[in-house]
Structures are given as structure tokens and as C-alpha cells.
Amino acid sequence: MPEEWPELPYAAWKETCATLQLWTQIVGKTRLALTPWLNHSWHVTFDVTARGLGTPLMHAGSLGLQIEFDFINHILWLRASTGQILHLVLRPMSVAAFYTAYLSCLSELGVDVRIDGSPNEIADAVPFRHDTAHAAYDPDFANRFWRVLLKAHEVLSHFRTAFLGKVSPIHFFWGAPDLAVTRFSGRRAPLHPGGFPHLPDAVTREAYSHEVSSAGFWPGGGPIEYAAFYSYAYPMPEGFPRAAVRPAAAHFEKELGEFILPYEAVRTTPDPARCLMEFLQSTYEAAADGGHWDRAALECALGERGRPRVVD
């Protein structure tokens, strides 16, 4: 069996990570184009699957469509409700070549969709059809990344069970990219200022329309050149950066406005799942207490397998 919490040094696979982010954006924009808007942009996300990252069922006219990045056999699968299955082999190729081949597959399946041809949340972004610079694909690191997502998904899913209020699915956003779970206080938030590169402010303001405590996993890049778990609150409560959180390896990253826990600090502990759960719980408590959330009404005990939640 492969290592459950594998090493994922960002410097060793940053080119593959950048290419893969752009490939997922191309597929993600298909979801964006085919799916009615769902609160907080939940309609654009991918699910972690038993083989990689995939879309839920999408509808293109009378056709049902699902698309999956398979990081075991390194194939992009396109499956239609007609029974037709097409695939692209994931290998070193430019974003431009991937974009052209992918659109050809959609056309062959009879999917009539127009997607936005420019990346989001990336400074100095080049339109997909012109991007020949990003062309790396290391299958070993793509597989490692997916295995990290598997373990993160397991812990985030357990963490999610202890909340009675509105809470997001465990889902993968292809903009950053990151795997995330978000809890909501139930109250409206101040209008978000926006300002993310190549992302309309209207999208950001809808995503942050209500108070949140959000956490997840990010492979690295920008201000931090390493994989990490993160946690933030919007709006940020007074004193949030100074809150005492666990474990000791966690710190507040001022440039990001988030608590950061290096992935390497998690994977090298005797009990990575427990270490990550401590981070998720303590940073949530910092957000909820600092923001004066009604914790008694919003929280419950962690879920147990096969046992209904006790209601008095």
C-alpha cells in the first residue's frame, strides 16, 4: 500500500501543480457554464473520488455528463448518459494542447457549451488556447497530491459532523486551488471588498455574503512555498490573529490573513488525523468565540458511524 500521508514538497512539483491547476480550471468552467448558480459558488466545485477529482452529474440539454481526473491511471474520463466514454491521457502537454483536445472531446459527445477561455485567480494569466508555457505533468506527484486530498477529505468530513448549522460539502475549488469546508454563523456579513485577480467582485461578494469560518488544504504557492492546511474567518473578528490555536506548529500568516499549519508538520506527527483535527477545532473556536456565534445552537458532538445523533 502507498504511504497514506505522502511527502509533497512544493518545489519538487510546482510546475506540475501549476499545469494541473489550469487543466482543472478548464474542466471546472464546464461545470460553471452548465450548472445553475448555487449559493457561494458551490456549483463549480469538484468532488474527491476513489481515483482522483471529478464533477458531479452535469446536464447538457438531454445529455448527462460526468468528468473525472483519474490520478491512478492518469486519464481524464468523460462519461455521457448515452453510454459513450471518451478519454484524454494525462501526460506532459501544454495547456493549449489540453484545451484543444478537451473541447474536441466535448464536441464529439455532442455537448454544446461555451466556456470562458481565461484562467481565474491567477495574476498575469494567459488565455488557455495561447498557454504553451505550462506543460509539466509528473504522474507520481499528481498521485501524491490526490492521496493527500483523500486523507484531508476524511478528517474534514469528520470535523463537518459536529455542526448543526449551515455547512458546505467537502469540495475542491479549482481557482486557488484548495479542498475546503465552510461553517456559517447564519448572519449576514459586511460586503466583501473583492479584489481577487481575474475574479469578478460580484462572485466574491456572493461567496462571502454571510459570516464564515472556513478551513481546508492548499498545495502551496505565492506567499507560502509549501503545502499547508489553512483556516480563516470572514469577517475577521477582533483579536483573531492572536488567538491561541493548536498545534504549536500553526501560526497566523499576516499576508494571507489566515492561520497556517504546514502539511509536513501534520504528516510527520504520530497521529496526523488528530493533529489536523486539533487545528480545525481550535481555529474554528477562535472564529466563533471572537465573532460571538451562538455555539450552543450551532454545534453538536462529532458523528459516529451507525449511531443517530441523540436528540433530547
d(CA 7, CA 9): 6
Residues across the chain = 312
> Contact 121/198 with Cβ under 8 angstroms?
yes
- Of 277, 265, 20, the residue nearest 146 (C-alpha): 20
Burial class of residue 223, CB neighbours in 10 A (0-12, 13-18, 19+): exposed
- Of 234, 174, 181, the residue nearest 209 (C-alpha): 234
pTM check: above 0.95: yes
> Contact 159/181 with Cβ under 8 angstroms?
yes
> Contact 14/3 with Cβ under 8 angstroms?
no
Side chain identity at residue 293, one-letter code: W
Q: 3-state secondary structure string, 93-130?
A: CCHHHHHHHHHHHHHHHCCCCCCCCCCCCCCCCCCHHH
d(CA 283, CA 261): 11
> Contact 230/205 with Cβ under 8 angstroms?
no
Structure-block grid coordinates of residue 267: 504528516
Q: Specify which residues 253 forms β-bridges with.
A: 258
For residue 55, the model assigns a pLDDT of 98
Q: Specify which residues 88 forms β-bridges with.
A: 76
d(CA 268, CA 249): 12
Per residue of the chain (312 residues), give pLDDT as tens.
679 999 999 999 999 999 999 999 999 999 999 999 999 999 999 999 999 999 999 999 999 999 999 999 999 999 999 999 999 999 999 999 999 999 999 999 999 999 999 999 999 999 999 999 999 999 999 999 999 999 999 999 999 999 999 999 999 999 999 999 999 999 999 999 999 999 999 999 999 999 999 999 999 998 899 999 999 999 999 999 999 999 999 999 999 999 999 999 999 999 999 999 999 999 999 999 999 999 999 999 999 999 999 898
- Of 233, 213, 208, the residue nearest 160 (C-alpha): 213
